[in-house]
Amino acid sequence: MDFCKNYPLPDWTSGFEHRKTSASQLPYEEYTGPMEKSASDTNDYRLIRLPNNLVVMCVQDPATENAAAALSVNVGSNMDPVELQGLAHFLEHMLFMGTEKYPDEDEYKKYISQHSGSLANDAFEGALDRLSSFFTSPLLKKDCVDRELCAVDSEYKGLLNNDIWRSYQIGCKLSDPNHPNSKFMIGNIETLKQGAKDHGLDLY
């Protein structure tokens, strides 16, 4: 099935108007066309596009006092090279090892924990700044490579007796070998460290 033909992607080129933030006068674009939502949905929505072309859906929920954010990067385990299965999972671990602005390991987790795992509005900016730095300036420290490979391997071993995970892996094994779902997405020492060595690759 042609996914794009049956489920066309949104048109991000039309319906946007140029705006500026009220305080700092920074430019952005805001979608002014109609938005469809359920009649019972009490949330307010704004769709904006930043100068770097990042499209952001802002949701205001009148029933909550906490803030949250998520980022879709349109890449992940499905795109792992066959010779390095688990690479995306390993990279996820490496991102938490510090950024240029926040060089301390696990700074993001520490910040979230300091705010009891749920962010009030006054803590949201700090969390968003830490999250965004994963994608703009990760340190990817070389001295963390072996440790995080072991952490990935430990996660894998910890799931070996988990029936839900084992059922999922059976599904992967039964999938078309040419389909991304057939890959070993969690990875372990064998698929990553040994896989890199067997193919003459350096994980750093």
Interhelix angle 121-136/107-114, rounded to 10 degrees, is 170
Give 41-60 as a 3 state SS string.
Answer: CCCEEEEEECCCCCEEEEEE
- The pLDDT of 10-27, averaged and rounded, is 86
- The pLDDT of 55-78, averaged and rounded, is 91
The pLDDT of residue 5 is above 60: no
Give the pLDDT of residue 126.
94
Tokens representing 103 are: 């060089």
* Active site amino acids: 92
- The SS3 call for residue 150 is helix
Tell me the per-residue pLDDT of 95-116, one tens digit each, with 9 for 90 and over. Answer: 999 999 999 998 999 999 998 8
CA torsion through residues 156, 98, 66, 18, sign: negative
Tell me the per-residue pLDDT of 142-181, one tens digit each, with 9 for 90 and over. Answer: 999 999 999 999 999 999 999 999 999 999 999 999 999 9
Which of 147, 140, 146, 142 minimizes the C-alpha distance to 99? Answer: 140
The pLDDT of residue 3 is above 80: no
- The SS3 call for residue 134 is helix
Give the pLDDT of residue 21.
92
Tokens representing 39 are: 């009649």
Give the pLDDT of residue 12.
67
Question: % helix / strand / coil in the chain, to the nearest 5?
Answer: 40, 15, 45
pTM comes to 0.83
Q: What percent of the chain has pLDDT over 90?
A: 77
- The pLDDT of 17-43, averaged and rounded, is 93
CA distance 94 to 135: 12
Give the pLDDT of residue 92.
95
Give the pLDDT of residue 118.
76
Tell me the per-residue pLDDT of 177-198, one tens digit each, with 9 for 90 and over. Answer: 999 999 999 999 999 999 999 9
